[in-house]
Structure 1
């Protein structure tokens, strides 16, 4: 894909920050949702969270620089650019809430961050199908939105769904 590969030459630092550190954030994600780790080893949770946040900071800035330097067109640029801004914003705000001691809100914002981090996975699931059906140019433009909008919509639905009475009573 020429409209991605040229970033390795023209935006070398942004490209390698993104492709190296976004997978780190993705690998750290399950540990942050591990309830036992959070409750038994809160300090480990905090250190993993710092690594997750730093990975997203650097990978996210790289993604925004690549998005607005892309030759894939403005629709793809805006799709990936908005993803990068929301990724940085939700993660940063979630970390800020944790530092303020607002843990319930922190968890909600980090769930949104996780949904956006998972865009890397959904992109790779959709891309072969979109390339096979729509071609590379149209498929790449569509995946710039499809990789994260449904993830974030699911996260919002999940966070806003009405709790069952038994779950509400248990809380």
Structure 2
């Protein structure tokens, strides 16, 4: 962990996020939900809670999966945790995410973002499994880094929500014509798209620059 100084801050951020987000849903009290159930669809709350629990499993196991020390010292545990990440995390959370996304209260722009996010989350993770089974480990790591970026995008989503709310609140009476619904739709749309596109772009940028650094020739040292 000391050779990867980003591991400890990442773990702390994830734990803090889960400590703040989970208790309200683990209480199983619909009145404490951040998202209201659509009219005539009371099952939505339980689908949302399940999505959040499976997503939390994905976040915790994902942190362990990208820990180089664990991967190098205990490959068998790495593989077992990988199965937990996929089958008790991403797969159920991603499938339930379609239902949650289609029923978002933040309008069609946010809905499109949630559906695309769920599709990409499941797709990148599936490619990680396929490449691992074919022993194409370099490709496997690249796909799982993309999956990791999408798994953690819920954290950046919350950050963008706070920033968008602070920036747009003075415009409620002007830009949004006093409509709280339009204001909330704008916040939900911005945070939902920025929440996952920016982490995915950063992950791809990081992946694209690594081969270039490896190809850099070493300069011969004078004798």
TM-score by length of 2: 0.69
1:35-87 CA-partner distances (Å, limit 9, x unpaired): 22112211100011011111110011111111112232111000111001000
Bigger mean CA offset, 106-115 vs 34-43: 34-43
- The reply to whether residue 113 of structure 1 matches residue 147 of structure 2 is yes
For the pair 1:14 / 2:62, whether they are aligned, the reply is: no
Q: Flag structure 1 segments of 5+ consecutive residues without an equivalent.
A: none
Provide runs of 4+ in structure 1 moved above 6 Å. 166-169
Which residue of structure 2 aligns with residue 122 of structure 1?
A: 156
- Structure 1 stretch displaced more, 132-141 or 119-128: 132-141
| 1:148 partner SS | helix
**Bigger Cα Rg:** 2
CA deviation map 1:122-161 (0-9, x unaligned): 0121211212222422111111101000011111111111
Q: Select the structure that is richer in helix.
A: 1
**SS of residue matched to 2:212:** coil
**RMSD after superposition:** 2.3
The aligned runs of 1:138-149 (5 Å cut-off) are 138-149=186-197
Per the alignment, residue 77 of structure 2 pairs with 44
Pair 1:71 & 2:109 matched: no
Q: Unpaired segments of 5 or more residues in structure 2?
A: 1-31, 169-182, 219-223
Partner of 1:98: 132
Cα distance in 2 for partners of 1:154, 1:30 equals 17
- The corresponding residue for 1:31 is 64
What TM-score, normalized by structure 1, do the two folds share?
0.89
